[in-house]
Amino acid sequence: MLRIGVYICHCGRNIADKIDVKEVVEFAKSLDGVVVARDYKYMCSDPGQDLIVKDIKEYGLNRIVVAACSPNLHERTFRNACKRAGLNPFLFYMANIRELDAWVTEDRKKATEKAKRFVRAVVNRVKLQKELEVGKTKINPNVLIIGGGIAGISAALTLADAGVHVYLVEKSPSIGGNMAKFDKTFPTLDCSACILTPKMTSVKAHPNITLLTYSEVESIEGYVGNFHVKVGRLPRYVREDKCTGCYQCIEDCLYTEPIFPSEFDEGIGKRKPIHIPFPQAVPLVPQIDGNLCMWLSSRKCPRYCMEVCEPKAIDFKMKYETFEFDVGAIIVATGYKPFDPSKIPQYGYGIYDNVYTSLQIERMLSSTGPTGGEVLLKDGRKPKRVAIIHCVGSRDENYNRYCSKVCCMYSIKLAHLIKERSGAEVFNFYIDIRAAGKAYEEFYRRVLSEGVYFVRGRVAYVTDIPENEKEEKEVEKGRLIVVVEDTLLGKIRRIPVDMVVLSVGLEPSDGAEQIKRVLKLSCSADGWFAERHPKLAPVSTNTEGIFIAGCAQGPKDIPETVAQAQAAAGEVLSLIQRGEIELEPSIAYVDKEKCSGCGVCVPLCPFNAISLKMDENGKLRSEINPALCQGCGTCVAACPSKAINQNLFSREEILAEIEGLIKD
C-alpha cells in the first residue's frame, strides 16, 4: 500500500507570493495515494522537518514529496529527515517550485497551475521509487597539489604539518610562482622574498612533502578517495640529488656572457643556456636549456660545465621521467598569467622601447633583478616622468570583461616604489580606484600624499607623434605622449612621459588549460576554475575530492590566495579524516542481457566510468564503475539498446513524471 505525504513550502514569501499554496495542498490531497498534504512557512527549518518525521511515524507514510526550492539546496536535508524517521531516504523526492516556477512565472494563476503539475509529476514518480543503499569506499590519505605558487606552497605546508603526505607538482624549474618575482607587496610593503623564501625552503625540507618541479601531470584516473596520478618530469640535465647549487657550471659555461632573455625576468634580464632562474630558487639547481646549449643542440662544446662540476651533477643523459602514485584528494593551484598587452596596439607595447608591463617593472625593482633594483629606461637613464596605465586588458569587453582585482593596488604600490627609487613624477591613469581590503584605502592615501598624480580616465593611446612644437621637443628627448580624456576635468590631456607601465590584468595560466582537460573540471566563461558554490563552497569543485585555491579560481591578492589555500587544506583534511566516503546510489547500471557491446557509451561518459569488457561467454559488454559514475545520465539516453538504466531515474520513473506534467 502506498502512503504518500506531500509538503508544500512557502519559502517565506519567495514561493507564497506567486503561488497559491493552499490551493496546491488541496490539489495534492486529491491525488491517488496521498495520505497527508500540508504547507509550512519554511520546510527546511527544524519544525518543518519535524512535521515530516512525525507524519511518517503517525500515518505510516512510505513515500515523501516536498515541493520547495532546488534539490541542490535541500535534498540532503529532507533525505536526512526521512532517515531519522526510519524511512529509506530514496523513497523521497523534491519538486522545485521556486527556481523553476515562482521565480520565473509572472502570473499567479499560471504559477499555481504549474506548481500543481510539478507536484503531480513527483507524486507519480515516487510511487515507482525503490529503496536504495549507499555504498562506501576507503580514502587514500595522500594529497596531490598542482602548482607551486604561494597557493600551492601554503596548502602543502598546512597539510604536511598535519601529518598528511603531499605530492607538490610544479611546472617550472622552481616553486614560488608569481610572488617570487615581486620586490615588495602591498599594502604593508613587506619584502616579498623575505616572507616567501622561508616557506619555499620549508617545502623542500619537509619530510611529508615530495616536491616534483619541472614536472607536469600527465593523467589522473579514479575518483574521490582513490585517484591514480601520473606525473612526467622534464630533464634539466643537472641532477637534483647531487647538485650543491654552487653556480660554478654557470660561470664556466661556453657562453661567457648571459645573452638570452630570461623567462623569470620577463624578458628584460638575460641568462645563459645553463641557469638558475633566481637566487632564492627552490630547488637551487641549474637547468640546461636544450635548444640553446651548444652540446645538446649541436654537440659543439667541450662541456665546460661538466668539467667543473665537483659533485658530478651534470648529466646530459637525463631523460623524461614518469612517476606514478595514488592520492585521495587533489588541490589545483595553477595560478594566473599576465595579459599580453601587445593585443592592444594603441598602447605601444613591443613598438616603443620604454613601454613595459607591470611584471617587468616588478623585476626591475627587485634587488636581485636585472637592474639591481633600479628603475631604468632602455638607454640606462633614470626616468623623470612615468605613466602607469590601469585596467590593461581588464574591464574591457574586447579582451577580459572582469576586473582583475589586484591591479589598482599593485599600481599604487608601483607608483610608490618607482617614485622612491627614481624620484620620478608618477601619473596613475585609472577608471576607478578599487582599494577594498584591510589597510588598502589607507595605503592609497599614503601614496596620494607622496604626490603621485591620479588622473581619472582610461588612456586612449600612447604615441611619439607630436602635435605641436612643444611636443616635438619632448619627443626629441625620447619621450612618449600619453593621450587621455581627463574625465574629471572634462579635457583631453596629452602628457609627455619617459616611461609607460601597463598594469596588465590576470588571465588563467597556460597550465590551467591542460589540468582542466586532465581533470574534466568546469570553468567559468573566462577560463577560471569554477567553484561548487560562490558563497558556500568557494574552494570545492563539482567533482568530489578536487579542490581549487588561489588565482586558479579567479584574480585575487596574496592574503586572499593564502586564505583559500588554507581553506582548501582544511577541506582536504576534513575529507581524509573521514577514512571512507559514501557513494551516491543514483548511478547508472548495465543490463548485460540487452547490451550489444556497441561501445557508443564509452567515449560519451564525461567521467571515464565506462569500459568494454569481455564477459564469460566471450562477448564484449559495457561495464560501469560504480565509484566513478556521477549519475549524469548521458549514457542512459545514448544507449541504442536501452541496456543502461539509472537508479532513481529509470525510464518508468521519468515517463511517470512527464505524464504528471502534461496530463490535462
Ligand X SMILES: Cc1cc2nc3c(=O)[nH]c(=O)nc-3n(C[C@H](O)[C@H](O)[C@H](O)COP(=O)(O)OP(=O)(O)OC[C@H]3O[C@@H](n4cnc5c(N)ncnc54)[C@H](O)[C@@H]3O)c2cc1C
Residues 149/168, Cβ–Cβ less than 8 Å: no
For residues 490 and 103, what is the distance between their CA atoms, to the nearest angstrom? 44
Which segment (182-190, 268-276, 277-285, 420-428) binds ligand X by CB under 6 A? 182-190
Which x/- pattern over 360-379 shows residues binding ligand X (rule: CB under 6 A)? --x-----------------
Is residue 434 within the footprint of ligand X (CB under 6 A)?
no
315 binds, among ligand X, another protein, none (CB under 5 to 8 A by kind): none
Interacting residue with ligand X among 137, 201, 248, 514 (CB under 6 A): 514
The label of the residue with cell 637592474 reads 371
Rounded to 10°, the helix 108-126/21-29 angle is 30
C-alpha cell at 275: 641557469
For residues 602 and 622, what is the distance between their CA atoms, to the nearest angstrom? 8
**Residue numbers of the site for another protein (CB under 8 A)?**
345-346, 391, 395-398, 431, 456-461, 463-465, 467, 483-487, 490, 492
Residues 117/31, Cβ–Cβ less than 8 Å: no
97 binds, among another protein, ligand X, none (CB under 5 to 8 A by kind): none
335 binds, among ligand X, another protein, none (CB under 5 to 8 A by kind): ligand X
163 binds, among ligand X, another protein, none (CB under 5 to 8 A by kind): none
Interacting residue with ligand X among 173, 328, 335, 496 (CB under 6 A): 335
Cα–chain center distance at 364 = 29
Is residue 412 within the footprint of ligand X (CB under 6 A)?
no
Task: Work out how close the CB of 229 gets to ligand X at its nearest, in angstroms, rounded to a whole number.
Answer: 12
**What sections of 285-377 are H helices per DSSP?**
294-298, 304-308, 358-365
Which x/- pattern over 492-511 shows residues binding ligand X (rule: CB under 6 A)? -----------------x-x
Residue (178 or 540) nearer to ligand X, CB: 178
463 binds, among ligand X, another protein, none (CB under 5 to 8 A by kind): another protein
Task: Work out how close the CB of 178 gets to ligand X at its nearest, in angstroms, rounded to a whole number.
Answer: 4
Residues 135/631, Cβ–Cβ less than 8 Å: no
CB neighbours of 100 closer than 8 A, spacing ≥ 6? Answer: 70, 118
At 63, give phi and psi (nearest 5°).
Answer: -145, 140
Residues 373/365, Cβ–Cβ less than 8 Å: yes
Which segment (147-155, 157-165, 370-378, 591-599) binds ligand X by CB under 6 A? 147-155
Task: Work out how close the CB of 411 gets to another protein at its nearest, in angstroms, rounded to a whole number.
Answer: 15
Is residue 199 within the footprint of ligand X (CB under 6 A)?
no
C-alpha cell at 322: 614518469
Is residue 359 within the footprint of ligand X (CB under 6 A)?
yes
For residues 439 and 649, what is the distance between their CA atoms, to the nearest angstrom? 53
Is residue 147 within the footprint of ligand X (CB under 6 A)?
yes
185 binds, among another protein, ligand X, none (CB under 5 to 8 A by kind): ligand X
Is residue 213 within the footprint of ligand X (CB under 6 A)?
no
Task: Work out how close the CB of 384 gets to another protein at its nearest, in angstroms, rounded to a whole number.
Answer: 23
Can you say whether the dihedral through the CA atoms of 206, 209, 212, 213 is positive or negative?
Answer: negative
Is residue 550 within the footprint of ligand X (CB under 6 A)?
yes
458 binds, among ligand X, another protein, none (CB under 5 to 8 A by kind): another protein
Cα angle value 90/113/119 (rounded, 5°): 10
For residues 508 and 388, what is the distance between their CA atoms, to the nearest angstrom? 23
Interacting residue with ligand X among 124, 358, 366, 566 (CB under 6 A): 358
For residues 395 and 402, what is the distance between their CA atoms, to the nearest angstrom? 5
For residues 531 and 538, what is the distance between their CA atoms, to the nearest angstrom? 5
Let me know how many helices (H) and strands (E) the chain has, helices first: 18, 34
Contacts with ligand X by CB under 6 A lie at 146-152, 169-172, 177-179, 182, 185-186, 216-217, 333-336, 338, 358-359, 362, 406, 410, 413, 509, 511-512, 514-515, 550-551, 556-559, 561
